[in-house]
Amino acid sequence: MKTYLDCIPCFFRQALAAAKISSEDETLHRCVLNAVALMIPDLTLNATPSEIAQKVYRIVYEVTGNKDPYQEAKKIANASALSLYSHMKDMVDYSNDTLETACKLAIAGNAIDLGPQTEFGNMSTILEDSLGYQLDQEHYRRFKESVDKAYLILYIVDNAGEIVFDRILIEQLLQIKRLKIVLAVRAKPIINDATLEDAIQVGLNKVANIISSGSGAPATILSQCSTKMKGYYQAADLIISKGQGNYESLSDRPENIFFLFKVKCPVIARDSGYDIDRPVLISSRTLKNTDQ
């Protein structure tokens, strides 16, 4: 997915929000915005929004000296989501279609995203909203078929807190059949994306083999990924990709990828064909830019 001109104001908004979280010094906030402004004329719109966002956040961290301004927010999100873990398990176990319910919960968890917004709201409300919509049944049917045929699944996570919802889906997948699930996290902190520390905090190491993507981007930029990550990416029978950032970086790829996320901005709405606030499960092989 390429970057649109509509993305540029969002880069400034995100830079200012991250700068305010990183430091209370308004002089530094202005320095961050000035540095981002100097970067804009040299941008290529052929890059993905996530590639540009990585540069924007790098500026924030370098100017403010705070390399992980969302650290506390991530811990709170993980703990808050974990407090609802048993309830989410019950929601799945007592549903008519346990896999579909687990998918809905995993998608609902994508609301815990501090890139396009400054707060993610009440965790219980996220749960309540998760079952009040229908997945695209054609895409869900394809997803079930891919799970049935898969042996190795690469599950690329997105945000802290959200990864508890991902654990629910992973555990449900493991109940369906014998699978090897490899879970990829960010190599280092960026926004509130999940790192190895977050994954271990919520117990994902108990249900999946966790690897670092090798990249600190808020997405899966394959050119930045480690050899191990690329190996699993190529070997996977099914790739589950969480969040808008991973959609931005992988939506043009031909592999068997299913994107699970909540549409949060007009650009993604236009590119994906789904309305803002719509929870989405969509197959990469039906997207307009693939050659499948």
* Entry pTM: 0.93
pLDDT at residue 280, rounded to an integer: 94
User: Could you tell me if 41 and 104 lie in one domain?
Assistant: no
pLDDT at residue 292, rounded to an integer: 36
pLDDT at residue 25, rounded to an integer: 96
Instruction: Look up the CATH number of the domain holding residue 200.
Output: 3.40.50.10880
What is the rounded end-to-end Cα distance, in angstroms, of the chain?
16
Task: Tell whether 71 is covered by a domain.
Answer: no
User: Could you tell me if 107 and 249 lie in one domain?
Assistant: yes
Cα–Cα distance for residue pair 142/138, rounded to 1 Å: 6
225: left (phi over 0), alpha (psi -120 to 50) or beta: beta
Task: Tell whether 190 is covered by a domain.
Answer: yes
Task: Tell whether 292 is covered by a domain.
Answer: no
User: Could you tell me if 170 and 274 lie in one domain?
Assistant: yes
SS3 at position 189: coil
Task: Tell whether 2 is covered by a domain.
Answer: no
User: Could you tell me if 59 and 81 lie in one domain?
Assistant: no
Closest to 130 (Cα-Cα) out of 121, 139, 138: 121
User: Could you tell me if 225 and 262 lie in one domain?
Assistant: yes
pLDDT at residue 289, rounded to an integer: 43
Q: Which one of 64, 89, 111 terminates a domain? A: 64
pLDDT at residue 54, rounded to an integer: 95
Q: Give backbone dihedrals phi and psi of 224, rounded to 5 degrees, phi first.
A: -100, -10
Q: Are 218 and 50 in contact (CB under 8 A)?
A: yes
Structural domain boundaries enclosing 138 = 77-286
User: Could you tell me if 154 and 266 lie in one domain?
Assistant: yes
Contacts of 128 (CB under 8 A, 6+ apart): none
User: Could you tell me if 167 and 255 lie in one domain?
Assistant: yes
Mean pLDDT for back-to-back runs of 10 residues, the chain (292 residues) = 92 95 95 96 91 95 95 93 95 95 95 70 73 88 96 97 97 96 97 96 96 95 97 98 96 95 92 90 74 38
Task: Tell whether 98 is covered by a domain.
Answer: yes
pLDDT at residue 286, rounded to an integer: 80
In this structure, how many other beta carbons lie within 10 angstroms of the beta carbon of residue 134?
10
Q: Which one of 33, 64, 95 terminates a domain? A: 64
Number of domains forming the structure of the chain? 2
User: Could you tell me if 165 and 29 lie in one domain?
Assistant: no
Instruction: Please name the helix (run of DSSP H) or strand (run of DSSP E) that holds residue 56, with its range, or none.
Output: helix 49-64
Distance of CA 228 to the CA centre of its chain: 20
Cα–Cα distance for residue pair 16/14, rounded to 1 Å: 5
Task: Tell whether 32 is covered by a domain.
Answer: yes
Task: Tell whether 215 is covered by a domain.
Answer: yes
pLDDT at residue 125, rounded to an integer: 76
User: Could you tell me if 99 and 13 lie in one domain?
Assistant: no
Bridge partners of 181? Answer: 153
Contacts of 225 (CB under 8 A, 6+ apart): 213, 214, 215, 233
User: Could you tell me if 267 and 204 lie in one domain?
Assistant: yes
User: Could you tell me if 180 and 56 lie in one domain?
Assistant: no
User: Could you tell me if 56 and 109 lie in one domain?
Assistant: no
Task: Tell whether 72 is covered by a domain.
Answer: no
